[in-house]
Amino acid sequence: MEKILRGVLRAETQAIAIYTAEMFWIKNPTRRAALLKIREEEIEHQNGLAPFSPLIRISLKLDRISGLLLGTLLSALPWSVLCSVQSWAENEAAKIYAQAAKALRDHGGDLPLGLLEKLQAAERQEQEHSLFFQGPARKLY
């Protein structure tokens, strides 16, 4: 269970850094506002799950750096391509949360109070992010 949660939290750290870099480089205020909203939701996921798993500081720094680099590279792409990549990434994140929730249910025994609900809520939100990048985000000018 610890390994699963650590992986989820590391992925959230990268996602937050990606959105941070994109917001730095993308100057269109409408697009920046959309990225900010999603970034804030990713921070909520991380904050909600952090109490359940200790993280290794060096891993977080490396995840943050790689996320900033990836976000910078994504920002150089045309908006429609960035949306396609982000939609795919958010869908993959939803799958990771679904797998984590399943692994915890299959693990049996006592689960920390509220953990499963937080994983399921994050999965739903990642699916919403993916759908947003598939449609509405593409029309932000």
User: Tokens representing 12?
Assistant: 């959230």
Confidence check: pLDDT of 109 > 80: no
- pLDDT tens track for 26-41: 999 999 999 999 999 9
Residues of the chain with pLDDT > 70, as a percent, come to: 96
Q: What is the pTM of this model?
A: 0.87
Condensed to tens digits (0 to 9), the pLDDT of residues 50-70 reads 887 776 677 788 999 999 999
Q: Which of the following CATH numbers is that of domain 2-139: 1.10.10.10, 3.40.50.2300, 1.20.1260.140, 3.80.10.10?
A: 1.20.1260.140
- The whole-angstrom separation of Cα 20 and Cα 42 is 11
Please report, for the chain, the start and end positions of each structural domain, with discontinuous segments joined by +. 2-139
Binning pLDDT at 50, 70 and 90, where does residue 108 land? confident
What is the SS3 assignment for 97? Answer: helix
Q: Could you report the per-residue pLDDT of 75-89, keeping only the tens digit for each?
A: 999 998 999 999 999
b or e along 90-117 (b: 16 or more beta carbons within 10 Å of the residue's beta carbon)? Answer: bbebbebbbebbeebeeeeeeeeeebee
Predicted confidence band of residue 95 (pLDDT cuts 50, 70, 90):
very high
3-state secondary structure 51-86: HHCCCCHHHHHHHHHHHHHHHHHHHCCCHHHHHHHH
Q: Phi then psi for 2, rounded to 5 degrees?
A: -60, -45
Q: DSSP label at 26? A: -
User: In the prediction, which pLDDT does 141 show?
Assistant: 61
